[in-house]
Amino acid sequence: MSDLRQRQVASSASKEPDNQPAIDTKLKKQKRNGNKRTGISLLDIIRVLVTLVVASCGLSYYMTSSESVLWGYRPWFTRWPVLVRYIKGPLHLTLSDLTLYNGSDPSLPVYLSVNSTIFDVSANRMMYGPGGHYNFFTGRDATRAFVTGCFQEDLTHDLSGVEEMFIPIDDGEVRRLSSGERKIRREQDVRMARASVRKQVAHWEGFFRNHKKYFEVGRVVGLDEEPKVERELCRAAQQQRPERKVD
């Protein structure tokens, strides 16, 4: 009987090593499962952000008719002509030099100038090139014409006397003023008129500087050396003069 018990114990002892690897494997799996994180990982966040960016770019490309993947925003360094001009540095041209860039030579860009600042408008040759509606602006500084609207008489940078178009037309009341009062009124009118001229010039300069297709390339030099010419206010500008408001 004791021999039988000894054989059973020996048999059980011999089977234990066979079951041990399975038990160890099960414990390891349980340990790994216990160590797994159930939260969102950094990689998951990156994937979501990349997906959103790609979707936004694709929608922008579709909505802007294939013009932009950034909803119309185009950094200056992504525009090749602007980048080239930045690398080369700003141009300094005289009025004589500027005339070469009026669009007649297809190998040259098209330039115009407002308030001595030169802008490249080559991206719109249909409008500013030969035969275009605004070709008369190119190859020159026509700041005066931008203010007065006289596109034949005033294609010049000279603004002398142009403030007159913003000075109210005097009525019969001025006759009742003394000479001192008339002088003071005139000074006030001129001061306000010149401010209006500066505002108009700044408007057009900002128009070309902030345009998505045009960009600044340099400055016109030597304007102070140009001969002064006495200019009268063109008819269109005279017709724009305001009526003086009577209090």
Q: What is the mean pLDDT of the chain?
A: 82
Q: SS3 string of the chain? A: CHHHHHHHHHHHHHHHHHHHHHHHHHHHHHHHHHHCCCCCCHHHHHHHHHHHHHHHHHHHHHHCCCCCCCCCCCCHHHCHHHHHHHHHCCEEECHHHHHHHCCCCCCCCCEEEECCEEEECHHHHHHHCCCCCCHHHCCCECHHHHHHCCCCCCCCCCCCCHHHHHCCECCHHHHHCCHHHHHHHHHHHHHHHHHHHHHHHHHHHHHHHCCCCCEEEEEECCHHHCCCCCCCCCHHHHHCCCECCCC
Range in 38-47, 76-85, 204-213, 237-246 with the lowest mean pLDDT: 76-85
Per-residue confidence (pLDDT) for residue 166, from 0 to 100:
95
Overall average pLDDT of the 207-235 stretch: 89
Using pLDDT thresholds of 50, 70 and 90, give the confidence band for residue 53.
confident
Residue 216 has pLDDT above 70, yes or no: yes
pTM above 0.75, yes or no: no
pLDDT digits (tens, 9 = 90+) for 62-109: 676 555 556 566 654 556 666 776 787 789 999 999 999 999 999 999
